[in-house]
Amino acid sequence: MATSSYQIEGGNSNSDWWEWEKAGKADNESGKACDYWNRYKEYHDMLEELGVKVFRNSIEWSRIEPEEGKFSEEAIRHYREILQDLKNRNIKTQTTLWWWTSPIWFQKKYGFHKKDSIEIFARYAEKVTKEIGDLIDIFTVLNEPMVPLGQGFLGGVFPPGYKNPFKFLGAVNNMAKAYKKSYKIIHEIKPNAKVGISYLYNWYESEGFGILLNTINRIAQWFRIGLLGKKIKGYQDYIGVNYYRLGKIKFEFGRFGMDSRNQKYFGFSIEEDKDNVMKWISYPKGIYFVLKEASEKFKLPIYITENGVPTREGIDDEERIKFIKEHLKFVNKAIEEGVDIRGYNFWSLMDNLEWLYGYEPKFGLIEMDYENIRYEKRKSFYEYAKICKNNAVELG
Ligand code: BGC
């Protein structure tokens, strides 16, 4: 089961995303979010009820190091309590060190386009490993780095808000180096640690204009995975795959410029499913293609670190149930054909802050009432619990 700290914890005023929201650059301010920071035990009760074996979560750098070089003992203690609580319940932790957000001081003074970021990030990774690492079963150093780098340095819609290809390439390079350094440090401290990265690994294919569009699809995939992936070759103990949807690139003549929030780029755009709240095209078979491709390309064990579907308020939980079952069917097909898949994490336990889109899309097995911090288990929650209990899916 997967969640990320900034999206659920609430109240993190040291984070660059907090500033971004306050400046009105996202649809909602996160506020208390799910108040996981204070109520983590209630959510862990639900994980236990579901019967999941692993919880994918993350640590907020801006809580651990709210001021440059000054680490917060209190935040470290709190994260230890959270992870210890999971251990007490026999739930393993797959913990991410950087999930898109950075401390405000880092973003103001440095940013990943500056070389200093390598040492500064590695120092944070070292601190977390030394202080909390004994409670982490699987380390994911970075989550989908190309999303915030693309959106933050080319698209201008994530912090730090640049639209500058040179800064972008610098940031990709530095982040790859920061990753490699952290990988080595974690292994020095915990020689048997499993350390890796999660990629946004959707499936891209198009009909019509076959070869041309498919070439563009391959370039898009290279941009999302290969560009950074090549630089960190040999420094991954596993591959984390986040699979959500089909990306179908199409021509959109007459459109110039870039609208990265809506995925429209210089004459091309991604096809949309008008019925989906985020316009995403669900494509269960795509997870099978992705798993086969990742296994051949990387020759490493695979963790499915995210898979989920955004729905609308209240009405389409049935869609989520169908989504889970169909995707697991194709995961099973990949396993039967020999792909080494070690885990499956559904996104997400509860509805949470969907970055620029705020609270509108619902990804949770649990429905949130953010105003009163109340929650209700959806039907999909019970279906998921059945799957965990039987370690099998009943297909309708
Ligand atoms: C990200 C999450 C996000 C989810 C749904 C993933 O790409 O890791 O942070 O909420 O997709 O968009």
What residue's CA is closest to ligand 1, atom 3? 354
Q: Which residues contact 267 (CB under 8 A, 6 or more apart)?
A: 251, 252, 253, 255, 256
What residue's CA is closest to ligand 1, atom 5? 354
Q: What are phi and psi of 229, to 5 degrees?
A: -55, -40
Are 389 and 44 in contact by the 8 Å Cβ rule? The answer is: no
Counting every residue written for the chain, the total comes to: 396
| Rounded CA separation 389/313 (Å) | 28
C-alpha of residue 98 to centroid of ligand 1, in Å: 13
CA distances from 93 to 139, 189, 342 (A): 9, 18, 14
C-alpha of residue 202 to centroid of ligand 1, in Å: 12
| Rounded CA separation 164/33 (Å) | 32
Provide the whole-model pTM: 0.96
Q: What is the pLDDT along the chain (396 residues), one digit of tens a residue?
A: 999 999 999 999 999 999 999 999 999 999 999 999 999 999 999 999 999 999 999 999 999 999 999 999 999 999 999 999 999 999 999 999 999 999 999 999 999 999 999 999 999 999 999 999 999 999 999 999 999 999 999 999 999 999 999 999 999 999 999 999 999 999 999 999 999 999 999 998 877 666 788 888 888 889 899 999 999 999 999 999 999 999 888 887 656 667 777 777 777 888 899 999 999 999 999 999 999 999 999 999 999 999 999 999 877 899 999 999 999 999 999 999 999 999 999 999 999 999 999 999 999 999 999 999 999 999 999 999 999 999 999 876
| Confidence at residue 255, expressed as pLDDT on a 0 to 100 scale | 60
Are 328 and 393 in contact by the 8 Å Cβ rule? The answer is: yes
Closest among 1, 8, 36 to 353, alpha carbons compared: 8
DSSP string, 97-152: EESS--BHHHHHHT-TTSTHHHHHHHHHHHHHHHHHGGG-SEEEEEE-THHHHHHH
C-alpha of residue 89 to centroid of ligand 1, in Å: 26
| Rounded CA separation 315/145 (Å) | 32
C-alpha of residue 209 to centroid of ligand 1, in Å: 30
- Ligand 1 atom having least distance to the Cα of 352: 10
- Ligand 1 atom having least distance to the Cα of 4: 9
285: exposed, middle or buried (Cβ count in 10 Å: 0-12, 13-18, 19+): middle
Are 266 and 307 in contact by the 8 Å Cβ rule? The answer is: no
Q: Which residues contact 342 (CB under 8 A, 6 or more apart)?
A: 238, 301, 302, 303
C-alpha of residue 67 to centroid of ligand 1, in Å: 27
Triad 34, 325, 308: Cα angle to 5°? 35
Q: Which residues line ligand 1 (CB under 6 A)?
A: 4, 7, 143-144, 200, 242, 306, 347, 354
| Rounded CA separation 186/124 (Å) | 11
What residue's CA is closest to ligand 1, atom 7? 200
C-alpha of residue 188 to centroid of ligand 1, in Å: 30
Pocket test for ligand 1, best of 224, 350, 354, 357 (most atoms within 8 A of CB): 354
C-alpha of residue 277 to centroid of ligand 1, in Å: 14
